[in-house]
Amino acid sequence: MTLLAGELYLLRRKEREIEVYDVISYHLLRHQAVPDLRGFADVTSCIHYRCVYIADYFGECVHRLDAQGAFTRWTVNDEPRGLSVNAAHNVVVACSRVRKIKEFSSRGDLVRELTLPDDVINPLHAIQTRSGQFIVCHGRLADPVHRVCMMSADGRHIVHSHGGQRGSDTDQYNGPGHLAVDDNEFVFVADLINRRVTLLSPTLQYVRQVVSRDQLNWWPRRLYLDTQRRLLYIADSDFQSDESSGCVVVVKV
């Protein structure tokens, strides 16, 4: 789920397509098929290049949809999971299986590749801050450690972290799968199995719970923060079935 030019882009895994909605009225504008798509993982957008990127974990590639509706794709050579765009307008790709962050240009040229420490298991999403550090969430359902970490710019060291052993207390997570960061570098964390969204300070200290399970029908899979309008979009979907059930929850932050 992402926004671009007043339109909301939603991935539909079962149909293997994108639904595009007007961001004000929420009316469906069009369906957009993705050629040669094998498996959706994440989607993000770039205002600078006016395009949308889609992570394809089975195809081990990223698809790029430009403003004219043309698709291109480039290989990642690993399974991409979470996507984000940094201040240089490059694409930051979290590759969970190999514990790596890969940075690509908008056309798919590999800029650099960072290997994360051994205890950062299954990184699912990474966002680069203005200072060059990376905010990374890691921990799939069977992993013992579920955390949000601030990594050094070279990816080698953990500067700050929040979480640890899997659980449901305010300092714990159970499937921290997606992130959003505001202009002041406060961090929003989608905590999948605990069915909540947590807000952390720029040094990853607990601030408050932004969205509770009472505001969700299913599980928070993806986040998008509209920093200008201060609206947080949460993709609330049923990951335990065929993922045909879901909605978007919008909260003022």
Q: What is the pLDDT of residues 152-169, one digit of tens each?
A: 999 999 999 999 999 999
Beta pairing partners, 151? 134, 158
Instruction: Tell me what pLDDT residue 239 has.
Output: 64
Judge whether residue 179 has pLDDT over 90. yes
Average pLDDT, the chain: 94
Dig out the tokens for 54 from the structure.
Answer: 């889609």
3-state DSSP call for residue 213?
Answer: helix
Judge whether residue 242 has pLDDT over 70. no
Task: Answer yes or no: pTM beyond 0.85.
Answer: yes
Spatial CB neighbours of 156, under 8 Å, sequence gap ≥ 6: 114, 117
How much of the chain exceeds pLDDT 70, in percent? Answer: 96
First-residue to last-residue Cα distance in the chain: 18
Regarding predicted confidence, which is higher, 236 or 245? 236
Mean pLDDT of 206-215: 96
- At 80, the pLDDT band (50, 70, 90 cuts) reads very high
> How many C-beta neighbours within 10 Å does residue 249 have?
16
Dig out the tokens for 234 from the structure.
Answer: 């949460």
CATH code of the domain occupying 35-252: 2.120.10.30
d(CA 64, CA 101): 19
- 159-184 burial, b at 16+ Cβ within 10 Å, e below that, comes to ebbbbeebeeeeebbbbbbbbbbeee
Instruction: Tell me what pLDDT residue 16 has.
Output: 76
- At 244, the pLDDT band (50, 70, 90 cuts) reads low
Judge whether residue 197 has pLDDT over 70. yes
Instruction: Tell me what pLDDT residue 246 has.
Output: 82
Q: Which residue has the tokens 């966002």?
A: 127
Regarding predicted confidence, which is higher, 203 or 32? 203
Judge whether residue 136 has pLDDT over 80. yes
Exposed (0-12), middle (13-18) or buried (19+): which is 137, by Cβ within 10 Å?
buried
Q: What would the pLDDT profile of 13-23 be if each residue is shown by its tens digit?
A: 766 789 999 99
